[in-house]
Amino acid sequence: MDVLPFFGCVIPNRLPFLEKSAKLVFKDLGINFIEVPFSCCPDPVGIAAVSEKAWVTLGARNLSIAEKENKKIVSFCNGCAETLIGVKHYIEHNKEEFEEIREILKKKGYNYKGTAEINHFVRYLIEGIGIEKIKKCVKNPLNGLKVATHTGCHYARPSDWIQWDDPLNPKCLDELVKAIGAEAINYTEKTLCCGAAVDRVNSKIALEIAKRKFQSITESGAQCIALNCPACFQQFDNIQKNVNKEFGTNFQIPIFYITELMAIAFGHSPEELGFKFHSTKLKSIFPDS
């Protein structure tokens, strides 16, 4: 099956090893990626706050490209998925205001129809591929590994746009963890924000948020964090040393994008996946990394 991967800006430019894991996993599952000239989604917070018109125009351009290809978009970024779903939602509910934007797109050769289908990659793995098929690809089950999952703020919210999973008690990422043999550990601060957006304006508050998150995960007995958002990955992977310096703690919690753990379970090696590029060392989980 062919799909259009939407990796956004952060993964290709800052975290290409996450893209590598996603491509390996989807290839193993029989999904073929068709590359098309998507632009920035654009950002659902910053750009939308500065100019809603620019946000809708750029998002509609991306959706028009997918419509021309007549293939599903699979987004590997929470923010990108929120923007693309949100832009489609906006257009459906603001048709008169969109006519000016439609004319702008037409001048550039794009014809928006409203037929694009957008999936967050976790949703696509669950609904488009299925847990049973994922289990069949597992060669090295991660038995005994205790994993704390973190879905991030933009994964299922705003719920009236996204209509996926439970925004207050998300379960689907846990299902993927279980499918590869690991144990999904519940913890108190499971839905707490990573603090990345707060970090832009108040780094001290961001450190306090991260400390609460890391403390809750440590107390739960989980050995690592698995997530599905590149912004959350960067925040958790990079901030631990700053949290330790600020609060005198000693957090060394390995951070994984869920497709990295899936790729390991599917038989790929830490070296192949570029584990050496993680800021927080992974040797407590994978000694050879």
d(CA 53, CA 101): 8
Question: What is the per-residue pLDDT for 179?
Answer: 98
Residue pair 64/110 in contact by the 8 Å Cβ criterion: yes
Q: Where exactly are the structural domains of the chain?
A: 2-121, 139-277
* Contacts of 99 by beta carbon, 8 Å cutoff, 6+ apart: none
d(CA 170, CA 164): 9
d(CA 168, CA 174): 14
Indicate if the pLDDT at residue 289 is higher than 90.
Answer: no
Question: What is the per-residue pLDDT for 46?
Answer: 84
**Residue 65's pLDDT band (cuts 50, 70, 90):** very high
CA distances 272 to 112, 229, 258, Å, are: 40, 21, 16
Record the pTM.
0.96
142 Cα distance to chain centroid: 21
Beta strand 118-120 with 183-184 is unpaired
Question: What is the per-residue pLDDT for 198?
Answer: 92
Q: pLDDT by residue (tens digit) across 66-123?
A: 999 999 999 999 999 999 999 999 999 999 989 999 999 999 999 999 999 999 999 9
Nearest to 127 by CA among 86, 177, 165: 165
CATH number of 2-121: 1.20.1050.140
Give the CA count within 13 Å in the CB-facing half-sphere of 232. 26
Fold exhibited by the domain 139-277: Rossmann fold (3.40.50)
Q: Per residue, what are the HEC states of the chain?
A: CEEEEECCCHHHHHCHHHHHHHHHHHHHCCCEECCCCCCCCCCCCHHHHHCHHHHHHHHHHHHHHHHHHCCCEEECCHHHHHHHHHHHHHHHHCHHHHHHHHHHHHHCCCCCCCCCCEEEHHHHHHHHHCHHHHHHCCCCCCCCCEEEEECCCCCCCCHHHHCCCCCCCCCHHHHHHHHCCCEECCCCCCCCCCCHHHHCCCHHHHHHHHHHHHHHHHHHCCCEEEECCHHHHHHHHHHHHHHHHHHCCCCCCCEEEHHHHHHHHCCCCHHHHCHHHCCCCCCCCCCCC
d(CA 201, CA 284): 33
**Residue 209's pLDDT band (cuts 50, 70, 90):** very high
Q: Per residue, what are the HEC states of 57-90?
A: HHHHHHHHHHHHHCCCEEECCHHHHHHHHHHHHH
Q: pLDDT by residue (tens digit) across 129-183?
A: 999 999 999 999 999 999 999 999 999 999 988 999 999 999 999 999 999 999 9
d(CA 27, CA 48): 34
